[in-house]
């Protein structure tokens, strides 16, 4: 059953924008680089194991006043089943709920900034506390693409190694 890991990959991919409120010596992600609508580029993306989802779109809403990111998205897995996800979080190393309707398990996400253009993240099974995926999100310097790396295990314990490329679709 590959649906849960695709939902996880997509969910992870949707944690696109982060506004950090770090200590003075920490890196800060620039949330304006992530905000907007992103669509998956299946030709440039690789999924192991496959097959990839049939479509993915996400919207990232920036809350400048509180440093929170409001993220919503949807995907259709390889069988056409819809999966919807939503999260509100900061890039401060703490875990935040990752709500997935149509997914196999409850998740949480935590992240740390790499620089203004990207961050590393960890996805955990919210009930068991086990790490299920790690990776990074990096926006190209020209702002036209976002690359998500996902490494982890699916609900069947099989390894996943995905590189997912998103094209910037526009502001909303």
Looking at the predicted structure, is the pLDDT value of residue 130 above 70?
Answer: yes
How many residues are there in the chain? 172
pLDDT of residue 10: 42
pLDDT of residue 151: 97
Percent of the chain with pLDDT strictly greater than 70: 78
pLDDT of residue 46: 95
Question: Which pair of structure tokens corresponds to residue 72?
Answer: 């919503």
Percent of the chain with pLDDT strictly greater than 90: 32
pTM for the whole thing? 0.78
Write the CA distances from 22 to 92, 93, 113, 164, 166, integer angstroms.
7, 10, 9, 27, 27
> Is the separation of the CB atoms in 164 and 55 below 8 Å?
no
Q: d(Cα 67, Cα 100) in Å, to the nearest integer?
A: 22
Looking at the predicted structure, is the pLDDT value of residue 20 above 50?
Answer: no
**Residue range of the domain that includes 82:** 3-170
CATH number for the domain spanning 123: value is 2.40.128.20
The residue written with tokens 């989802």 in the block is: 53
Looking at the predicted structure, is the pLDDT value of residue 61 above 50?
Answer: yes
Looking at the predicted structure, is the pLDDT value of residue 23 above 70?
Answer: no
Higher pLDDT, 63 or 121: 121
Q: What angle do CA 47, 172, 166 make, to 5 degrees?
A: 15
Cite the beta strand spans of the chain per DSSP E: 36-40, 55-63, 68-76, 82-89, 96-101, 107-115, 118-125, 131-139, 145-153, 159-170
Q: Nearest-CA neighbor of 108 among 119, 116, 93?
A: 93
Looking at the predicted structure, is the pLDDT value of residue 127 above 60?
Answer: yes
- Specify the number of domains making up the chain: 1
Q: Nearest-CA neighbor of 171 among 11, 33, 55?
A: 33
pLDDT of residue 51: 86
Summarised one tens digit per residue, pLDDT across range 71-126 is 788 888 888 888 888 888 888 899 999 888 877 778 999 988 898 888 899 999 98
pLDDT of residue 150: 93
């Amino acid at each position: 059953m590959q649906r849960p890991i695709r939902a996880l990959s997509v969910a992870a991919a949707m944690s696109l924008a982060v506004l950090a409120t770090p200590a003075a010596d920490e890196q800060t992600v620039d949330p304006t680089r992530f905000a907007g609508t992103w669509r998956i580029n299946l030709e440039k993306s690789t999924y192991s194991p496959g097959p990839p989802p049939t479509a993915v779109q996400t919207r990232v809403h920036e809350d400048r006043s509180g440093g929170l990111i409001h993220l919503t998205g949807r995907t259709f897995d390889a069988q056409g089943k819809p999966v919807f996800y939503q999260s509100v979080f900061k890039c401060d190393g703490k875990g935040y709920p990752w709500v997935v309707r149509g997914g196999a398990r409850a998740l949480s996400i935590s992240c740390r900034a790499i620089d203004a253009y990207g961050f590393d993240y960890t996805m955990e099974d919210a009930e068991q506390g086990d790490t299920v995926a790690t990776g990074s999100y990096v926006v190209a310097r020209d702002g036209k693409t976002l690359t998500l790396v996902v490494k982890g295990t699916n609900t069947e314990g099989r390894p996943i190694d995905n590189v997912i490329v998103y094209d910037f679709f526009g502001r909303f």
